[in-house]
Amino acid sequence: MRKIHILDTTLRDGEQSPGASLTTHEKLEIAHQLARLNVDVIEAGFPCSSPGDFEAVRLVAKEVKGPTITALARAVKADIDAVWEAIRVAEKPRIHVVLGSSDIHLAHKFRRSREEVLQIGVEAVKYAKSLCPEVQYSTEDASRSDRRYLFQVIEAVIDAGATVVNIPDTVGWAVPAQWGRLIADIRKNVPNIDRAILSVHCHNDLGMAVANSLAAVKAGAQQVECTVNGIGERAGNASLEEIVMALKVRRDYFRAETDIVTRELTRTSKMVSRLTGLLVARNKAVVGANAFAHSSGIHQDGVLKHRKNYEIIQPEEVGADETQIVLTARSGRHALKHRLETLGFVVTQQELENIHPRFLALADAKKEVYDDDLYALMADERGSDHQKVKLLSFHASTGSDEAPRAKVRLSIRGQEMEREASGDGPVDAAFRAIDEMTREQVVLKEYRMQAATAEKAALGQATVVLELNGRTATSQGASTDIVEASLRAYVNALNRLLP
């Protein structure tokens, strides 16, 4: 069995998903979980992009042990210096340099000749190598590059010191058979390819990122770049959990394996979804809520007789075990804390005291509190940390013969304020009342409301994306009252944006 290295770029490419926004603390929380998942490499960010991202990468490099820690740099000295300063404290650092190789990028992005761009890449690798023994080089837009030029670039950067060469399908243009042939041709036509790890990074614009990644593995690729839940630019990246489980389930075909601790997959998926605000489709492979659900009578009968009749993955393999403790209004703090810890939360005593009354109110409103309810409650609680703005109370009214109105009372940096406003609905009216108090030019970019669970007394989970002065923040709020859930989400997002 060949070992396939997994490079997780959730914290870099994944965070570039429209609507996703992670704080430094949240990035560190995900990075620790990726270490428990046992990924080989964590790409922690793009340090040159902002001081905040630099600090997040530096903190991950300092505190997360086990995986190699890398970060992205363009092929310029300032970017490479920023990456090295951020990751040099890592147990196993790697500098990742990216530069386009397609004629489209050369003509319209760099406006330079092939020879000039090749030399820029070689010099960047040499400089990175003088700082760090591990250097990865990515030939951006490789799938649309001239093959002979691509082979020439790969050979040159390996001679310059690159230890990993990554071949990206940057715009999701490739198809599996063609992509597999390219990887096989690289292995045949680049004479020094055995001196570097051959990697791929596939995007999902045509829905083939996972298929292309697996075709590359079959053709000889040794590393796959991917993200948890497949999040990323535009339509996203190859999904880590799907690649890992495809290699595990079809070892007979791929003759390759990873070191991923697969029982951590579901926990990791839920954490990333909770912190980014990007929901996982119920029918998503491996980690979706319906991945191990059977509604057909024929399927139910078959599964009860023998699980392998209709399940090629056992739920416990990916950490999707059924809940052992049923939480009701009679459950105490100990049972609540135990279940939260089982779900992967490290719960402080103060967080437990804050969430317990809301848990009891929810348990009184419904027969049973489910795991998704707890994820929603904890997302709301974590989103309320270090608040500059606090929701104290609200009252909303609407009807067929009156305009919707809402009265909201806030504490803003310790000063209590109250405003009443009208709107197109009670939620809109409540948001307008908050805007009048904060006096900020906030733009609501996105608003979603969904039930955390399926029954009538479900906990409502609101997600908002706000923009202020060019910055965006995504946050969530939870309550059995949709107005309260919406207000909590709005206030949590404001706290991320206000200086």
Say yes or no: 268 and 330 in one domain: no
Q: Is residue 204 part of a domain?
A: yes
pLDDT digits (tens, 9 = 90+) for 70-105: 999 999 999 999 999 999 999 999 999 999 999 999
287: pLDDT strictly greater than 60: yes
- What confidence category does residue 324 fall into, taking pLDDT thresholds of 50, 70 and 90? very low
Q: Considering only residues 139 and 496, tell me which one the structure prediction assigns the higher pLDDT.
A: 139
Domain that holds residue 34: 2-276
Please give the average per-residue pLDDT across 221-249, as a whole number.
Answer: 97
* SS3 call for 150: helix
Say yes or no: 116 and 11 in one domain: yes
10: pLDDT strictly greater than 80: yes
> Which residues are paired to 171 by β-bridges?
none
Please give the average per-residue pLDDT across 11-39, as a whole number.
Answer: 93
Global pTM? 0.78
DSSP secondary structure letters along 213-257: HHHHHHTT--EEEEBGGG--STT-B-BHHHHHHHHHHTHHHH-EE
Say yes or no: 493 and 431 in one domain: yes
- Highest mean pLDDT: which range of 22-31, 33-42, 378-387: 33-42
306: pLDDT strictly greater than 80: no
Please give the average per-residue pLDDT across 219-242, as a whole number.
Answer: 97
Say yes or no: 369 and 469 in one domain: yes
Say yes or no: 227 and 370 in one domain: no
- What confidence category does residue 330 fall into, taking pLDDT thresholds of 50, 70 and 90? confident
- What confidence category does residue 382 fall into, taking pLDDT thresholds of 50, 70 and 90? confident
Average pLDDT, the chain: 90
How many CB atoms sit inside 10 A of residue 154's CB? Answer: 25
Q: How many angstroms separate the Cα of 234 from the Cα of each of 19, 99, 179, 417?
A: 11, 20, 20, 40
The confidence score (pLDDT) of residue 360 equals: 86
Q: Is residue 291 part of a domain?
A: no
Smallest CA-to-CA distance from 408 within 381, 382, 387, 390 is with: 390
Q: Is residue 303 part of a domain?
A: no
**How open is the CA angle 372-375-378, to the nearest 5 degrees?**
150
Smallest CA-to-CA distance from 200 within 177, 178, 218, 223 is with: 223
The confidence score (pLDDT) of residue 344 equals: 79
Please give the average per-residue pLDDT across 113-118, as a whole number.
Answer: 96
Say yes or no: 348 and 439 in one domain: yes
Q: Is residue 489 part of a domain?
A: yes
